[in-house]
Each structure stands twice: as structure tokens, then as C-alpha cells.
Amino acid sequence: MKRREFIATVSGGITALSVAPCWAGMLHRSGQNNTGYVYDERYLDYSNNPESPGRLIAIENRMKETGLSQEVAPLSLITDPLPYIRKVHSEDHIALIQDIGITGTVAELAVAGVLGAAQAVCEGQVVNAFCAIRPPGHHAVDGGNGEGFCYYNNIAIAARYIQSEYSFNKILIVDWDYHHGNSTQDCFYEDPNVLYFSTHNWHDYPETGDPALKGAGAGAGSNINVHLDPGTTDDTMKKAWEENLLSAVDAFKPEFVLISAGFDGMKNDKLGKFFLTEACFAELTEIVAAIANQYCNGRLVSMLEGGYSGEDLAKAVTAHIATLIRETSNVDYITGTTKSRTAYIHAGTLYLSSSIQDITGIIIYDVSGAVLKKIPSGKIHKNRVHLSELYLSSGSCFIEIQTAGRRPEILTFRCLE
């Protein structure tokens, strides 16, 4: 099943991309913050260049600048993560990590944050959550040191926590980091209850993730590695997901979704060699959230892995979070010629419902929130406006309909697919 068919099935034929941060405040259902957010200033207490505190500082700054920080529910860390760390890592490994001082302490706090998010989602406090944590975790093998900046495998520990404490046994782990999650693969290679899906360049660090490795024993077929070459673009990434993930999910039917959200595939990243944009990560988020909505009542926790480009990292993370927020909202969306309550697009013309009165203007934005075009009321005739191919060519846009005396209405659409 292709991505557009899958999401159309889940959403009743109405699909959308991420919601630009400038209107995130309009997204809530009954005024509730349905997306949780984990962050703790103690995550800044050590440095391991290029996995530096600046990564989280950039994210936090953009969260505040865009207003997204007001659209998420702050989540607490659990008190004692060690019993759950022990479900994945050996006592020798834990002792050695604890001996390295503040870095080891912060690594425990990262696990505590992820488990706090998992707890909040499992107990229905929020629908989904993003964890702005460091250090990352998907390379953390039992060697007593920091493998690939990782000390404990946050996502593997979260999976075991969810299975043991809440009995959601079938876990889908999606890993879109540029680098393969070797530790995550090792943890679940023979486990039929965890489907691990990873897109990466397996010829780069840690030189694992051979597509021929598909799981073993009872877990045969539950490990999906997709190699992508340096220079991979948005379209190639999305095609890899369409061809390899959706059919596997249909057969697996997960009960909970976890994301190893590495953003080192961004085109300007210091360590990655893909050429992805924040719009791509918004679309990948849409796909995974649609899976969670279909099979798991929305249950999804995403956690930061790689991404070392500062500003670009922050843009990708906020596009990801904005999409998570949108996936819990009841905003109307339109795509192609499919009608929503208030609008549809056909042959390059936007048709607005006659119920929308006193239109004073329309603003069109791209996925990052940049203004593409301002259309004054004089250009809007009988609630119709022609949309130039110039602003449709990106494949996704956001429309802000301004009306006299009312809060602007936001619509999203995708075109030229």
C-alpha cells in the first residue's frame, strides 16, 4: 500500500502535512494540549562535541520563538529508571557508565525522561509525546563506554518498560536517523513482538544495518533495514517508506509506536550525508502518526537521536512536533479535489464555502512558515481564488483565511503529487 492510500484509509480520504508553527495555537481539541514534551535543563550539564548542549538549546529557542512551547504539555521524568535500564543493559555496563560521572548521570536522566513520556501516553495523559533529550541511545551496546555518543539505549528501554508495565506487547520502532541503530537491532533481533524499521546509510558509522539482516528465530522478518545512498533526497526517503514499511505494519498491527528521531539526515548536517528537508520529516511524522492512529489509538513516543546542525536541527524538530500536535487535533484538511467542510482545490483554483463571509485576505505559507503569497480581498471573486503553480510547486502549502472580526481559519493542502 502506498503512503497516500494508507493515510487516505486512516483519515477517511483527507490528508495533510505538518502544521506551520505560526498557527500552532489554533490546533487544540477542547483546549487540551494533547502532545507531551520532555525537557530538563540537566540535559545540558555535559558536553561531547558535536553532541553538545547547543543542540537542545537551539531546539528550546525555536520552540519558544514559534510558540510551540505553549502548545505542548510538559512531562515529568520518572524517579528511578535503573530497574528498567537493567532490562536491557548488564550490571557491568551500568556500573561503568555510572563511574564516568556527570555524563553517566545525565544518561540516566535521559532514560527517565523517555519513560516519563511513555507513562504519560500509556495512561492517557497525552496522545503522543516528543522527548528533547540527550545523550541519544540507539548505538549503546554493552561495552561500558559511549558508543556513538550513546550510553543507554533509550528506545529499547522504553519498549521493555511499555511491555512490562502496561502490557502493550507489540511495539513498532521506527528509526529515521542517518546512522543505523545497531544496538536497537541487537536488542530485538529475535523478538517477534518488536518490529524494527530503519532507513540509513549502512556503509557509514557504525557500518551495520545490512538489508539482508531480517531477524532470526521467532523474530525472523521483524527487522527491516533499508540502505539509502549519500545524497538521498526527500522523494527517495518517502519512496523507501512506501515500499518497505506500510505492508509490514499491516501484517504486524502494533499496539504502541516509538520513533528514534534522528535528524542528521538534514541536508546541512555535520555528520550525515543525506539531503533531506524539514518538510520530509513532517511527512514521515504524518505517516507514523497515521499508523499510531489506526492501530494504537494514537499512542506514540518520539525521542531525539542524532542531528548536529543547530538551526536546521531545530527546524526539523519543530516541524516534527507541529505535525504531532496536528495529528491530535480536529482541524479540517484538504487534498487534491477532496472536499472538507470549508474548501476544496480543483485545477489550481481554491473554492471556499459560501459560509465563509467577509474575507479580508488570504496568506499562503510553505511548510516552514515562510510567506509565499499574500492575496488581498480584491483578488478573491465569489469565494474563489486561482493559485499559481509558483506556490503549488513545493507540493505542500498552508492557507490562512482572514475574515473581519473573526480568528483566521487555517487550511492545509498538498498538490502536484
Looking at residue 27, which CATH number applies to its domain?
3.40.800.20
Determine, yes or no, domain membership for 336: no
Same domain, 252 and 400: no
The pLDDT value recorded for residue 332 is: 33
Determine, yes or no, domain membership for 332: no
* Structural Rg of the chain based on CA atoms: 21
The pLDDT value recorded for residue 17 is: 33
Same domain, 249 and 367: no
Same domain, 359 and 405: yes
Q: What is the pLDDT along the chain (417 residues), one digit of tens a residue?
A: 444 444 444 433 323 333 333 333 333 333 468 899 999 999 999 999 999 999 999 999 999 998 899 999 999 999 999 999 999 999 999 999 999 999 999 999 999 999 999 999 998 889 999 999 999 999 999 998 899 999 999 999 999 999 999 889 999 999 999 999 999 999 999 999 999 999 999 999 999 999 999 999 999 999 999 999 999 999 999 999 999 999 899 999 999 999 999 999 999 999 999 999 999 999 999 999 989 988 988 899 999 999 999 899 999 999 999 999 888 753 333 333 333 345 655 556 776 766 677 888 888 776 666 777 788 888 887 777 776 654 544 456 677 888 887 667 776 665 433
What is the Cα–Cα distance from 95 to 106, expressed in whole angstroms?
Answer: 14
The pLDDT value recorded for residue 347 is: 56
Q: CA angle, corner 214, sides to 166 and 88, nearest 5?
A: 40
The residues pairing with 399 across neighbouring beta strands, listed in sequence order, are 364, 411
- Strand ranges inside 96-207, DSSP E: 128-131, 171-175, 194-200
φ/ψ of residue 19, rounded to 5: -95, 125
Determine, yes or no, domain membership for 337: no
* 409 in Cβ contact with 398 (< 8 Å): no
Same domain, 278 and 407: no
Same domain, 229 and 377: no
Determine, yes or no, domain membership for 69: yes
The pLDDT value recorded for residue 266 is: 97
Determine, yes or no, domain membership for 183: yes
Domain count, the chain: 2
Contacts of residue 132, defined as CB under 8 A and 6 or more positions apart, other chains included, come to 37, 38, 39, 43, 56, 59, 60, 304, 317
The pLDDT value recorded for residue 340 is: 39
The residue whose grid cell reads 563511574 is 99
The pLDDT value recorded for residue 260 is: 98
Determine, yes or no, domain membership for 286: yes
What is the Cα–Cα distance from 233 to 244, expressed in whole angstroms?
Answer: 17
CA nearest 48: which of 117, 134, 153? 134
Among the three residues 296, 326, 356, which one is the final residue of a domain in this structure? 326
CB-count burial class (<10 Å; 0-12, 13-18, 19+) for 217: exposed
Same domain, 149 and 291: yes
The pLDDT value recorded for residue 97 is: 97
Q: Provide the domain limits for residue 89.
A: 3-326
DSSP characters for 43-90?
A: GGS--BTTB-THHHHHHHHHHHHHTGGGSSEE-PPPS--HHHHTTTS-
Same domain, 129 and 219: yes
Among the three residues 299, 326, 353, which one is the final residue of a domain in this structure? 326
- Report residue 371 as a C-alpha cell: 510567506
The catalytic residues are: 139
Same domain, 316 and 348: no
Same domain, 300 and 401: no
Same domain, 161 and 301: yes
Same domain, 84 and 208: yes
Same domain, 201 and 226: yes
pTM: predicted TM-score of the whole model, two decimal places = 0.76
